Structure 1
């Protein structure tokens, strides 16, 4: 068990088992010397307690070219300031990125705590996603434009007397349209997830829904879209929640092969009106259970079990950014029941 100061001994079990690396240090001539470390420090940095306890901390974990930065952080701690900063530190396996917190503490045994949360994996994944998003979207748009032009030229040369010509042309144009939509959805996801939260998170969900329903009734006049909603309903959400509502309504219309699709939109209170469900029922083909498990239940994504597109992912992540939840079930109409669950705003 890690040895901690007596006045924080009640937290020793917690400190020993949290996943962040924690160091208790004493400042000796403004240099931090290790007095104790938790198990996560041993695991993350690769130094045993026998190696590190009572040794200069910076000697083991701060590369020479980063010593000035470390000295600045140590000085702040010595002055009684709390530090928060992304840093690179030396581990037994090389340089790793951490979120560092230096917390002053006045006791006989330690002068402060250093807490390190590993960020290397997260940072690399963020950067990889940014690169893939930019490269793939740019290349995809360009290639789709080239393909579309060549396909149209080939279609013009086909024998129009062949009954299959129109079928081939329709399939090709639909595939091109799907690729273009995929690129646009990737862009939307990137923008929404990367957009910082705003201070105002009060949204009139009914105003959003009224606009959406009016838009899709004009866009799809053969579809029957019925609503049973109150005149106003304020929820805690970002303005991006409109994207989720539009995506789910459009999903219900476009994926229904019938000549006339039916959609019923209504609200249901949850947990004594503290939460509300915006429910979208349709009579189209049901979303496969394997896809529902991946998107709504967090099941593992595999080569055989994954979403068929990005539309539902876009809706899910947009709802979650608003602090809500997307639930997927089966409707009494014979199709899907999609619920956007959000907290009401008093």
Structure 2
């Protein structure tokens, strides 16, 4: 880590400290942080002294490798500015999106790289909401309206329209459900987070007991500690959706569903897993969700449940992962920050 001494003069230090963006100065060879203003401390969640002793790549939750970061640092030092987005984990366990711009900097004839950092978490959430709503309007609403439109055409050409009426009723009911879902999702865009300190065990137990009583032929297991998070009421919806998917999309004979929650002390996070022994999730449903940043790449899948879960989890500064997806078992994991101890 950084061992060389670096200081701005008082005027430069006051200037960078007054900015409403994060500023860090990096060694142009190793990428180590030599300087960080107060805004950068707030973004990363570490004091400047700590930032100078850690490898910045270690706080990344994405696939940003040390070699790739060094390559971008050296390119910036050579006069080729760099810009990229990535997610970082704060010491509190919160996960947020940041944008980083790298440029060359010379101080007393020494070569450095200056990074301008912005917290773009709210922007990324609003962008995700836009893509989600756009997808629903273009795909789900359109498909259901086509059923209704086609139904009227069939009624005009046949005397017995009972079957057609049933199809139209189902399509209209789905449109009403989608409208309700859109209202819930758009409510997440408000500045009011509306969170309470809740016990994860209680949330999971409520869902498991509900399904255990309705589906006693499934082998249920709940393995959860008493752990607390700051949660919006919609987080319960995310747990419900994942458990419901395991129940509805698998044959119940010999099906086992395990719901667990454990503390990751080192990262101040909670790992929540929904494990089942049913069939793998089709690639068309999971590839765009778990392998790309935005949901607008989903072209043919009809399900929106996992998109809903991911949106809710992201709003809680968490991550949704598919840990396993094979014929033996599926493991879906939600990682969320622990609530501050009280």
Taking structure 2 as the reference length, what is the TM-score of the superposition?
Answer: 0.49
Taking structure 1 as the reference length, what is the TM-score of the superposition?
Answer: 0.49
- Asked which structure has the greater RCO (Cα within 8 Å, sep 6+), the reply is 2
